[in-house]
Structure 1
Amino acid sequence: MTTLRTGTDLAAVEDVTAGITAHGERYLSRVFTERERADTGDAPERLAARFAGKEAVLKLLRPMPTDAVPLTDVAIVLDASGAPVVTLSGRAAALADAIGCASIAVSLAHERGLAIATAVALTDR
């Protein structure tokens, strides 16, 4: 049976800025992939949108509370046309495989200090 799964998240740009200010490179490398950072130019509003996208994808994947899924296992990168696409690795890819999820679509937006993302996927389970 095919199932539609969704996830949505809202992130404050000021929280991302605070993380960068307090922890610098350590925060950036723990949360974002090199590709995400290149795509965004480390702009806080764009990073906040990626953060919201990662959280939306994780809500869609529904890991168990005991599952540790590094945020860098979910990457929101730009394709050749500039549209955001989800790439999974590690534990996130294993979760997607376990539910029969071949791809995840994501939509991102940011305005007035907030970023929002919605992720959608069809799964076999």
Structure 2
Amino acid sequence: MTTIRTGTDLAAVDDVVAGIAAHGERYLARVFTPRERSDTGDDPERLAARFAGKEAVIKLLRPTRDEAVPLTDVAVVLDASGAPVVELSGRAAELAAAVGCGPVAVSLSHERGLALATAVALSER
């Protein structure tokens, strides 16, 4: 049976700014892929939207409490037309395959210090 999986997340831009201020490159490398950083130019608003996108995708994948999914295993990058797309690797790709999850669509928005993301995918389980 095919089901629809969804995930939504809200992130504060100030939290990204604080992470960068406190941990600099270590924070950026732990949370974002090189492609995400390139696509955003390290702009905190755009990074917060990517962070919300990652969290929305992880919620969609529904890992158990014991299953850690590194944030860099979910990349929210721009396609040739400038639209956000999701690329899964590592543990995130394994979870998606385990539930027969097809491509993940994501929508991002940021305004007034907040970033919102919604992720949707079809799943066979």
Q: Same fold (TM over 0.5)?
A: yes
Q: Displacement of 1:12 after TM fit?
A: 0.1
**Corresponding residue for residue 63 of structure 2:** 63
Report the secondary structure of 2:80's partner residue. coil
Q: Does 1:113 align with 2:113?
A: yes
**Corresponding residue for residue 88 of structure 1:** 88
Report the secondary structure of 2:94's partner residue. helix
Q: Which runs of 5+ in 2 are unaligned?
A: none
Runs of 4+ aligned structure 1 residues displaced above 4 Å come to none
**Corresponding residue for residue 14 of structure 2:** 14
Task: Give the partner amino acid of 2:32.
Answer: F
Report the aligned-residue RMSD: 0.3
Task: Give the partner amino acid of 2:115.
Answer: A
**Aligned pairs for 1:35-46 within 5 A:** 35-46=35-46
**Corresponding residue for residue 52 of structure 2:** 52
**TM-score between both structures, scaled by the size of structure 1:** 0.99
**TM-score between both structures, scaled by the size of structure 2:** 0.99
Report the secondary structure of 2:30's partner residue. helix
Report the secondary structure of 1:69's partner residue. coil
Report the secondary structure of 1:66's partner residue. coil
Instruction: Write the distance in 2 (CA, Å) between the matches of 1:102 and 1:90.
Output: 16
Q: How many residues align?
A: 125
Deviations 1:3-32 (A, max 9, x none): 001000000000000000000000000000
Q: Does 1:99 align with 2:92?
A: no
Instruction: Write the distance in 2 (CA, Å) between the matches of 1:102 and 1:11.
Output: 25
Q: Displacement of 1:102 after TM fit?
A: 2.0
Report the secondary structure of 1:60's partner residue. helix
Percent identity at matched positions?
80
Instruction: Write the distance in 1 (CA, Å) between the matches of 2:7 and 2:101.
Output: 14
Deviations 1:41-81 (A, max 9, x none): 00000000000000000000000100111000000000000
